[in-house]
Structures are given as structure tokens and as C-alpha cells.
Structure 1
Amino acid sequence: MSNIKLIIEERAASIGNFMVGRLLPFRQKRSVGPFVFIDHMGPVKMSERENFDVLPHPHIGLSTLTFLFEGSIMHRDSIGSEVEIKPGAVNWMTAGKGVVHSERTPEYLRDSALIMHGLQIWVALPLELEDAEPSFTHIAAEEIPTWTEGDLTFKLIAGEAFGRKSPVPVHSKLYFIEIKSTSTQKVSIGDQLFGESGLYILDGAIQSEGNTYEPRQILIANDSKLCEFEIQAGATVYLFGGEVFPEERYIDWNFVSSSKEKLKQAKADWIAQKFPKIPGESDFVPYPGTEK
């Protein structure tokens, strides 16, 4: 990626009983366009005695995007959604004024060995939608726009680019694009991008300005319009970004807002268990520091 401004390495973080590689936020870069949080989950082998269990926890002011490469997650939320997400599909949950959800190994797989691998992403909401009613949409893998150009395969997971539009119902101008290559070649697509832009390397490597970059790194561009790099054969990368909101976004635990007062209220409401409940679930993740 030409004109690289910043390189972000994955840092280990815990989400309950599961370790992830945290990419955003970063102390020198809190967001890229509307993207405020990215976790790389796995790949991790889980035995028949292990399960992925993220207990009920709350969100405000954001949309979550779950995208799996391997494995399976059962999503349940306080809206009443209960959907299994499999590789290539997209779970898009908009928290708005407040939602609670859990993520677990599906019941039929809880005694099976499996591999978990994917991305968990938070996208901040525009100011006028921060207090909207929560909603949930599941987009099947075959509904995601996918096309090839020579030895490159593109997948528009969310947003708009290349004259195409993903069915994922995003709330601002953004893009989240997968690129795979079967040969080593130059990729020049800056004319398709806008706003801020980041590139995440999942597999393989890319070269830019005489340097080689490998997996578990995000490269942040100075100017998305100058996005150009050489991709190695067999590599998979993800381009993401979009227009920056005029207001700053703040994060407190699982809450995102343009208002620090709303973050304080969300914290108090969760501690007091005033958020809506997930049907059939009584456990929950305590606010950090309030564990009994």
C-alpha cells in the first residue's frame, strides 16, 4: 500500500474464555473512517471439551459486523434474534440506544472439535442514529457480491465500491472488501476508495515502496486515493474504511458514543441491569471492575 502512514500490529486481548488479536482501537489511531474496533479471532483449534462462549453483554452507538473464515457461532440478542453464523456470511447488528447479545458455539457442535477463525468489527453510527431502535440482519454468504478480475477475486462484504453495493444495511459511507490473488501482481484501486483507508493482511504478504508486509498487520494509508501495492500469489487482504464523522467518538468498554454522558449512563444502566434481556439467558458479563 503506497503512502503508508502507520503500521498497527495485532495485540493479544481476552474476550472472556477466548484470546483474540486486537487491531483497533490503537493508541495512535482510534478509528479508520467509521471503523472503531477490529478483533482477529484465532485461528484456534478447540477440542470437544472446549466451547466458544461470550456471555450476554451490552452495546450502544454502534453496529457489529461478524465475519467468519472457519467455525460457527450462535448469535442471540435482546431483540429476539437467534441466528447461526457460518463462514462467508455476515451478521450485522445495530445497537442504537442499546442491545444485549451473546455469542456461543451452537448446541449441536458443543461436543465436537472445531476451528474458530474470523473477524469481529464495530462500526460507529452517525450522530442521528446513535439512539435508534436496535436491529439485526443476517446476510448469507451467497448474497455477498463476488467477482474476479484476472487472477484477483474480490468480495464486497459491506458498503459500496467498484460500482457495486453490498446488501449489508450500513448506515454511513464505508467499504469492507476482501481481495484474494492466485498470482503475484500489482493492485491499483485507489480510484475506488474514499475517506480513510486501512489494509489488513490475513494470509500471504504484500510489497509496497520496497518493503514487505506480512499477516497480522494493518497498514493505514495517508491518502486512500493513492492505494497501490503488489500482492503475492496466495495472499488474502481486507481493505476497509470510509468517510470520517465530524464528531469524535468515545469508547468505554462495549459502548461507543459521541457523548461521554451517554457512556456514563450506559455504564450505570448495565451495572443496575436495566438493559433488555436475551430470552432464555440469565448470565451476563459484569462491567469491568464490578465483578463479585
Structure 2
Amino acid sequence: MSIENNDTELDCAVEQGCDAIELIIQPRETDLGDFKVKRLLPTRARKMVGPWIFFDHMGPAQFGPGQGVNVRPHPHINLATVTYLFDGEILHRDSLGSKQCIRPGDINLMVAGAGITHSERERPEVTNSAHRLDGLQLWLALPVADEEIAPAFYHYPASEIPALNVSGVAVRVLIGEAYGVRSPVKTFANTLYVEAQLRAGQTLVLPEAPERALYLLSGSVSAKDTELKPHCMAVFNDTPNVSVRANADSRLAIIGGDNVGPRFINWNFISSRKERIEQARQDWAAGRFAKVVDDEEEFIPLPP
């Protein structure tokens, strides 16, 4: 997805939790036209969790015929985007010539590196009928040594993502290593991304990571004496063997990994260098980014 303006660090509400939780972030809703997203990262209170610098929950949204996802071509640098759906379908196109539908359980990994342009739309047969969308899109800040690598696109179908049972809890290891299994999704730094579905009364020990956070998609879970409600993100410290207990049937995502150092963010550009972002802004304004193959006519203008 694209950021609509330069106000990238949201002033989201935060609160304190138990002694294992550094803070709890409440989402800020952002209007993308036909639907709204819940944005958790970056915020002024917490810009990143490990290498993750952007976290959007798209939906759940119900579209009528003629409505849907229609994000025009826009640029990125020095980051990688990760798209994961629970419901619905999105058509990805980019300036490398990639054309890929993402469906529930798949992972699309787009590495912007030195620069890429992409669009996120829907196939006409999807848009023409009533349909739903629910999913997460996240951005990874690339390590400094990899910021200017050649752009690339990777698609991982749902069948390639490890699924396992952890003490009765259904878990998928989307990126990185957890619970003794490793995802095939390409990484550039120590990165963690796990999905879990708990039935009421079940508990799950969180995987260890230098930095980590839990996003609750639905239900209710408790960490010690702190209850987490849907659509909040709890940022945990490095206390070992922290577990969460489901007070109701719940679905959650766990992210984390190594701190890759501070980043500057401006519109859809992320970099360790302010001057690189300014160059990217000038390049987009001047039309120097490559166009999206088969989607060359429209684009999102550079915000002031």
C-alpha cells in the first residue's frame, strides 16, 4: 500500500502493560478511498520493531460491485514489502514486469532496494462482484549493506509456508525461524513473523527475538495481568518465556527481529540517509523511476 502524505509517524494512543510489555499501541484508521486501514507502525512513540517499520491491517472490508483495492503506481526505495491475506485477493504489478495475484495464506515479498514502482489493484472479475478483503501489509527496513541492492520480487504460495501445532495451537511461521522450523521466505536480517490461532483457554509461549511485538487481529488474549483487545499491538521487552492466554478464540500475528539501526521515512521512501530520500523524491517528481509494466498510465503524485 501507499502512504497518502508525509505525516508518516502517527500520534497513536499508547499505554503501559505488564512488566513484560513496553507499551501498547492503539491503531490509527487511515482512509484509502473505498476502504480504511488500521495503521500501527510507525508511530512517534515507537517507530520500529526489529527491522519492521510499517504495519497496516487492511480490512476486514466488504466491497460492493465496482469497489475494491485500487492503489495506483507508486515508488519505494531501501525497503521490502510483505503482503499476507486472510481473505480476498490483490493483483500485484511492478516495474520489473512481475504480475502476481496474492491469495489467502500466500506471501508476496517485494524488495525495493535501489528503487521499484508497483501497483496494487484487483482483477476485473473480482472487482465486478461483491467481495471481501482482510490482510496485513508490512515493510521491512533493509540492512544498510543491502539498501541499494537490485530490486526483486518473490512469491511464496500458501503450501510452502510451514504450519505446525504448538501445544495444540495452530501456528504458521511466515518469515524467519520459530518453534523449531524455518520459513523459506528470503530474509536480509534476523526477522520474525508468525501467525497463530488460539482457542479459548489455550496458551502460547512467544518466540524469542531481540525485539518483538504482538498484534491481535481478533479475540482477546492476556499477558500476565494485561488484557489485549482486538487491533492493538503490544511491544514486548526481552523477558524470556513470556506466554499469552486466549480469553476467547483469537488470531494474532507476532513480529520481531534484530534492530537494524535508525531509519528516516518520508512518504513511501525509507533509508538510513536523508539525502537518499531527497534524491528519490526528486527522481519520482521528474519521472525517472521505471514504470509499472502494463500499468503505465496512472501514478500517485509526490505529496508536498
TM (norm. structure 1) is 0.94
Which residue in the other structure is 1:128 paired with?
145
Partner of 1:201: 216
| SS of equivalent to 1:225 | coil
Within the candidate set 257, 278, 296, 1:242 is matched to 257
Q: What does 1:86-165 correspond to in 2, within 5 Å?
A: 86-165=103-182
Alignment partners' CA distance in 1, 2:243 and 2:199: 18
Instruction: Give the distance between the partners of 1:107 and 1:159, measured in 2 at CA.
Output: 35
- 1:21 alignment partner, SS class: strand
- Residue 238 of structure 2: aligned partner: 223
CA contact (8 A) 1:17 1:54 kept: no
Q: Is the 8 A contact 1:194 1:224 kept in 2?
A: no
Contact in 2 for aligned 1:2/1:227 (Cα 8 Å): no
Deviation string, structure 1 residues 206-234 (Cα, Å, up to 9, x no partner): 11232321111000012253422212342
Q: CA deviation at 1:26?
A: 0.9
Q: CA RMSD in A?
A: 1.4
Which residue in the other structure is 1:213 paired with? 228
Percent of residue pairs bearing the same amino acid type: 38
Alignment partner of 2:259: what SS? coil
Name the CA distance, whole Å, in 2 between partners of 1:104 and 1:62: 21
C-alpha distance in 2 between matches for 1:50 and 1:193: 41
SS of 1:103's equivalent in the other structure is strand
1:113 Cα deviation (Å)? 0.5
Which amino acid in the other structure matches residue 169 of structure 2?
Answer: L
Q: What amino acid sits opposite 1:70 in the alignment?
A: D
Deviations, residues 53-105 of structure 1 (Å, cap 9, x unaligned):
00000000110000011110000000000000001100000000000000001
Gaps of 5+ in 1: none
In structure 1, which of residues 164, 177, 191 is the aligned counterpart of residue 194 of structure 2?
A: 177
| 1:63 counterpart letter in structure 2 | A
TM-superposed CA distance for 1:150, in Å, is 3.5
CA apart distance, 1:278 = 0.9
Deviates most, 29-38 or 233-242: 233-242
TM-score, structure 2 length as denominator? Answer: 0.91
Structure 1 residue 129: Cα displacement: 0.8
User: Can you list the C-alpha shifts for 1:138-177, whole angstroms capped at 9, x where unaligned?
Assistant: 0001110001134201100111122211111111101100
Aligned to 2:70: 53
Taking a change above 3 Å as real, the CA distance of residues 2 and 139 of structure 1, as seen in their structure-2 partners, is farther
* Residue identity in the other structure for 1:76: R
Alignment of 1:250-289 (within 5 A): 250-281=264-295, 282-289=297-304
> d(CA) in 1 for partners of 2:167 and 2:181?
18
- Equivalent residues of 2:20, 2:236 under 8 A apart: yes
Question: Does residue 187 in structure 1 map to residue 204 in structure 2?
Answer: yes
Instruction: Look up the equivalent residue of 1:122 and give its one-letter code.
Output: W
Q: Select between 100-109 and 22-31 the one with higher mean Cα deviation.
A: 100-109
CA distance in 2, matches of 1:223, 1:103: 36
Q: Which residue of 1 aligns with 2:59?
A: 42
CA distance in 1, matches of 2:242, 2:32: 33
Question: Equivalents in 2 of 1:272, 1:185: separation in Å?
Answer: 55
Q: Aligned partners of 2:264 and 2:32: how far apart in 1?
A: 20
Post-superposition shift, 1:182?
Answer: 2.3
Q: Is the 8 A contact 1:16 1:54 kept in 2?
A: no
Deviations 1:185-226 (A, max 9, x none): 33223xx31110100001111112323211110000122534
CA distance in 1, matches of 2:166, 2:243: 16
Number of aligned positions between the proteins: 286
Given that residues 197 and 224 in structure 1 are in contact (C-alpha distance below 8 angstroms), is that contact kept between their aligned partners in structure 2?
no
